[in-house]
Amino acid sequence: MKRSSGILMPISSLPSPHGIGTFGKAAYAFADFLHAAGQTYWQVLPLGPTGYGDSPYQSFSTFAGNPYFIDLDLLVRDKLLTKKEVAACDADGDPARVDYGRLYTTRFALLEQAKARGWERERDKISAFEKENADWLADYALFMALKRKHKMRPWTEWPEEIRLRRPDALERSRTELREDIELFTYIQFLFFRQWRALKEYLEKLGIRVIGDLPIYVAPDSADVWAEPQWFRLDEDNLPTAVAGVPPDYFSEDGQFWGNPIYDYDALRKDGYGWWIRRVAGAAKLFDVIRIDHFRAFASYWSVPAGETTAKNGKWIKGPGLDLVGRLTDWFCDVSFIAEDLGVLSPDVNELLKASGLPGMKVLQFAFDAKTESDYLPHRYDAHCVCYTGTHDNTTLAAWFDEAKPADVRKAIRYLGLNEREGFREGVLRGGMGSTATLFVAQMQDWLGLGGDARMNTPGKPDGNWQWRMLPGAATKRLAKEILEMTKLYGRYEEEEDDAR
């Protein structure tokens, strides 16, 4: 990885029409903006179908794509929908927020109309897609069809014969739910076709995509339902322990995630085949994979089933380099970033060093007036990624209002911040000028947005994942400002045409 920079901008936050960001015109416009700004990377959040709480970290599948990201105008172009059909489902709303409730009630009806026109017309291409994704697609499509039948209730509440995947019950369901299975298969076909086209455009511009791989899968997912043998479950396929983190910077009670814990003994005996398939799926989507909550490979917080907070958990030794080394060796052409945030024990630091992966440094965590933080730029090893903040942080503009006054004073002294330049701009300069090989800023920070543009507040059950950039916000002037700073701090590689 060369010295470079990028912007964190979720797909859902793009100013696409029809209520949420998509792989359509606004995505291509943002790619052009990144190129004009001299950026090498576009970091996105997980692209999977969102479940509980609309969180991309609680997806119905670790392999599937989010139906909402399929661009409706591209479907009109492909004669799968009409402008009238799309317009009939549109409604005036807040362009700065995603209304997930409305999307849920309107989007699938449109996708069903598209499927009615396209299923037979593109049958050969769909069949090839099914073969390419045979390791997960059939189970996922059946899982979603069953969720529809059972009014979207979690699979743990389905009838026992289906919940425990008895073969005769599965076969009856495949026959009974054929239409819905085809629908969810076709939706994935559309998702991956549109994403591939966007990725090809990004590649022509020299922009690489960083994508998140959540450490855990959602309890209500096709992953757990279809392959329960890789998780610590009881005889009824219910978790015996779940994941989270102990009390930390974000929450006094810790974070109770509720994801099932892996059965690493079973995974190890299988050669970690499930993990290899999972990373292979992510590698189809992304150029660089950010492994979320990397520390869980060293040791993970296990909370007994039945608890309501993460307080009463305990640390358990993880698979360590046995798994991490296997993945990095297997995917030698894929770049990885280790999300190594939080209070780290020696085993995590040792694993990160042994893996050779770059870790993360977050500037918002750097200026604790009571400690000498490892996130202060002068303490960086160049082999790391510096962020202004992640999707779990507030914006820089809000941080200056919300942080402890002593921490703000330390940031001002350390970075030489002043009102003429702007405090937020000074932090961006500090990150861009750091020794970190890669610098990534949230788009909200380049736009100077306040706390209402925060993407996620850990521990807050609702109101997250909704921020959207307003149309016209990514201006040519802003791109020029970012480009000048990128060049100034040696993160821009001159193109041939520029050099001449």
Which residues participate in catalysis according to the annotation? Answer: 292, 339, 392
Largest Cα separation within the chain, whole Å, is 72
Q: Which of 370, 366, 491 is nearest to 439 (CA)?
A: 491
Asked if residue 389 lies in contact with residue 399, where contact means CB atoms within 8 angstroms, the answer is yes
Token couple for 500: 């001449």
In 307-419, where does DSSP find H-type helix? 321-330, 346-355, 396-402, 405-415
As given in the structure block, the two tokens for residue 306 are 């039945």
Region for 14 from its dihedrals, namely left if φ exceeds 0, alpha if ψ lies in -120 to 50, beta otherwise: beta
Contacts of 409 (CB under 8 A, 6+ apart): 369
CB 292: neighbour CB atoms within 10 A? 19
Judge contact between 225 and 55, C-beta under 8 A.
Answer: no
Helices then strands (H, E): number in the chain?
Answer: 20, 12
Three-state SS for 75? helix
> Dihedral of CA 291/295/299/300: which sign?
negative
Element (H, E) at 426: helix 423-432
Strand order in the sheet with 438-442: 335-338, 288-291, 208-213, 41-44, 4-8, 438-442, 384-387, 359-362
Q: Which residue is it, tokens 């200056």? A: 400
Query: Within a 10 A sphere around the Cβ of 383, how many other Cβ atoms?
Result: 15
Closest CA to 198 of 27, 403, 65: 27
Q: Tokens 């970690």, residue? A: 272
Among 67, 15, 12, 46, residue whose Cα is nearest residue 190: 67
SS3 4: strand
Query: Which of helix, strand or coil describes residue 209?
Result: strand
Round to the nearest angstrom and report the end-to-end CA distance of the chain.
Answer: 25
Question: What are the angstrom distances between the C-alpha of 102 and each of 5, 74, 97, 98, 99?
Answer: 36, 21, 12, 9, 6
Q: What is the CA angle 386-388-394, rounded to 5?
A: 145
